[in-house]
Amino acid sequence: MKSDVLRTGLERAAPRALFKAMGYIDEEMYSPLIGIANSWNEIVPGHIHLDKIADAAKAGVRMAGGTPMEFGVIGVCDGLAMGHEGMKYSLVTRELIADSIECMAKAHAFDALVLIPNCDKIVPGMLMAAARLNIPAIVISGGPMMAGRYNGKNISVTQMFEGAGAVLGGKITEEQLSEMEELACPGCGSCAGMFTANSMNCLTEALGMGLPGNGTIPAVMAARIRLAKQAGIKIMELLDKDIKPRDIMTEAAFKNALAVDMALGCSTNTTLHVPAIAHEAKVAFDLNMLNDISKKTPHLVTLAPAVAHPEEGVSHHMQDLNEAGGVPAVMKELGKKGLIDESVVTVTGATLAENLENVSIKDADVIHSIDSPYHSEGGLAVLKGNLCPDGAVVKQSAVDPEAWVFEGKARVFECEDDAVKELLAKNVKKGDVIVIKNEGPKGGPGMREMLTATATVVGLGMGKDVALITDGRFSGASRGACIGHVSPEAASGGPIGLLKDGDIIKIDIPNKKMDVVLSDDELAARRREWTAPEPRVKEGYLARYARSVTSAAKGAIVE
């Protein structure tokens, strides 16, 4: 056992005494030591209940003969950080989380890890740590929030972000918005749609690092507590069998995860996080893989923020996916056309084929059959062109088909705040292409999400009349013609940094292209005149991050 270095031999009398200072008895001290990385806090709705998840996981570890040792992990709430300086501090925590878990696991010689995240950057940060450390590990997430109810329909935080625009657009009153505030988020859990947190929790399951149900069992259900106990028991089995994260997170497993990503219409942020996790797992990853897998993977599930039944204004949420069979049912359906490698090993200790043996779709309205998909292609697409030579990402399943081909004049802004001011002043017109530059990983720094901007566009009723492109990124709650991760970013001399008001931009999602109508000579002339922008942050963690972060096309990993 790795932990023997803490407790075995005459020279380890001091560490043994320190264990006893905390109340551990010999039977606990000489059992396998299992680190419980818990991101519980009192600021994130998805994490407010993780103390109970940790208690259940620790109970499982003890039942299986291990000694659980809990430690804390930070977590930022993207919803609370949105629309102000705080959003610069969201993505950057992914590396802090991975690094801090590495420090704790190495310093205290844990034999294995139970990882307890729930929200956006925390899930990938923990998976990165698991891949880097490569000791037996299992993820047990906190689960999704239930959808709220208003006027007989399900709603979520999406409607709240779109609220200001909806009031200004005359679609609802301030009194109605106030009523919705009381109902949209009814309790603990990661926000109820297929936003980034739930996307990553589902992909954790698809990667094989979470037990079946990890991605979809609602936070408030007792089944989530039972799953946490099972995770605690299972980590001891993984330790006994010496099954490590890199045995699970193989190239085949990543391809499975991407296929599920396409079938579910997950957040564009997965295109940042999956490459970063693959990097830590020593698995080669190319952004072009997304289009290859998307082209052959049908889109089977439409969850909020996309609308499942536009004619009725009905959206499905995470609880609906759970009741319909969850991620296992989606994988089983994809397997019918050979789109899933069922030979891979998972944290169950069994192969995926064994896990899926008795699985079926329980609600074909929520999970469509592979022969009757929402769309023939997957939910995400990578665009290329003279405006984004290294790629840009769009959640095509959340774009109105009327906006899949879009041409308009650029309205160029240096940051999201400037764009939002013009939107709220109703100075953005139909047919405009809003360009928000210098919001990338380096230029932001921190690659802010543009949910305030996109939600205002939708709230104003211009979701299919205005496009928005940025070297920043979008929340999974965004919808409409939103193209993010434009690479290279403006701060690195990318073409997006050369744009001017009035430039004609062409977006062609079906053909995976995005261009500005400028000649190579004109672009070259503008590049000669371009100078790198002054760093926006000159001290502290963000300044260090900006100096070492790579392109969004590489997953914004830190080197």
**Sequence-separated (6 or more) residues with CB below 8 Å from residue 292:** none
pLDDT at 256: 98
Is 475 an annotated catalytic residue?
A: yes
Alpha-carbon gap, residue 417 to 176, rounded angstroms: 26
Weakest mean pLDDT among 28-32, 205-209, 397-401, 541-545: 397-401
Among candidate residues 398, 390, 385, 333, the one with its CA nearest the CA of residue 360: 333
Closest listed residue to residue 155, CA positions, set 194, 198, 184, 179: 184
Helical H segments across 425-519, by residue range: 451-459
Answer whether 541's CB lies under 8 Å from 532's CB. no
Q: What Cα–Cα distance (Å) separates residue 294 from each residue in 70, 202, 262, 379, 525?
A: 40, 17, 6, 7, 36
pLDDT band at 313 (very low <50, low <70, confident <90, very high): confident
Amino acid 398: pLDDT:
83
* Closest CA relative to residue 203, chosen from 192, 215, 194, 211: 215
Find out whether 268 and 393 touch, Cβ atoms under 8 Å. Answer: yes
Contact 467, 406 (CB under 8 A): yes
CB-based contacts of 284: which residues, under 8 Å, 6+ apart? 251, 278
Taking the C-alpha atoms of residue 329 and residue 287, their distance in angstroms, rounded to an integer, is: 27
Query: Taking 90 as the threshold, does the pLDDT of residue 44 lie above it?
Result: yes
- Name 366's Cβ contacts closer than 8 Å, sequence gap at least 6: 301, 308, 316, 320, 321, 323, 324
Q: Which positions ≥6 away from 386 have C-beta within 8 Å?
A: 495, 515, 516, 518, 520, 523
Q: How confident is the model at residue 112 (pLDDT cuts 50, 70, 90)?
A: very high
**Span 282-305, mean pLDDT?**
93
What mean pLDDT value characterizes the chain? 95
Q: Is 316 helix (H, G, I), strand (E, B) or coil?
A: strand
Query: For 395-427, how does the pLDDT look when each residue is reduced to its tens digit (9 = 90+)?
Result: 988 888 889 999 999 999 999 999 999 998 989
Residue 340 has pLDDT above 80, yes or no: yes
pLDDT, residue 140, reads 98
**Which one-letter amino acid corresponds to residue 55?**
D
- pLDDT grade, residue 236 (50/70/90)? very high
Q: Number of helices (H) and strands (E), helices first, in the chain?
A: 23, 14
Query: Residue 35 carries which side chain, given as an amino acid letter?
Result: G
Report residue 459's pLDDT band, with 50, 70 and 90 as the boundaries: confident
Residue 308's pLDDT band, with cuts at 50, 70 and 90, is confident
Q: What share of the chain is helix, strand, coil (3-state, %, to 5)?
A: 40, 15, 45
- In sequence order, the β-bridge partners of residue 468 are 434, 482
Predicted local distance difference test score (pLDDT) of residue 182? 96
- Point out the least confidently predicted range of 335-339, 434-438, 479-483: 479-483
Taking the C-alpha atoms of residue 472 and residue 535, their distance in angstroms, rounded to an integer, is 16
pLDDT at 40: 98
Give the model's pLDDT for residue 88. Answer: 94
pLDDT category at 559 given cuts 50, 70, 90 is confident
pLDDT tens-digit map of 210-224: 999 999 999 999 999
pTM of the model: 0.95
pLDDT at residue 333 above 90?
A: yes
pLDDT tens digits, residue range 246-266? Answer: 999 999 999 999 999 999 999
| Predicted pLDDT of residue 309 | 79
pLDDT at 158: 87
Instruction: Report pLDDT for 399.
Output: 87
* pLDDT tens readout for residues 342-401: 999 999 999 999 999 999 999 999 999 999 999 999 989 999 999 999 999 999 888 888
Which pLDDT score, from 0 to 100, does residue 61 have? 98
Which helix or strand (DSSP H or E) is residue 418 part of? helix 416-424
pLDDT at 475: 80
Peptide bond into 124 cis (omega under 30): no
pLDDT at 434 over 80: yes
Residue 30: pLDDT band by 50, 70, 90 thresholds? Answer: very high
User: Which of 234, 252, 272 lies closest to 138, judged by CA?
Assistant: 234
- Residue 137's pLDDT is 98
Residue 304 identity (one-letter amino acid): A
pLDDT for the residue numbered 465: 93
Tens-digit pLDDT profile for residues 145-188 = 999 999 999 999 988 988 888 898 899 999 999 999 999 999 99
d(C-alpha 495, C-alpha 515), whole Å: 10
Joined tokens for residue 17: 């005494």
**Angle of helix 122-133 relative to helix 196-207, nearest 10 degrees?**
30
**pLDDT at position 228:** 98
Which residue in the list 156, 190, 475, 478 is annotated as catalytic? 475
pLDDT tens per residue across span 60-103: 999 999 999 999 999 999 999 988 899 999 999 999 999 999 99
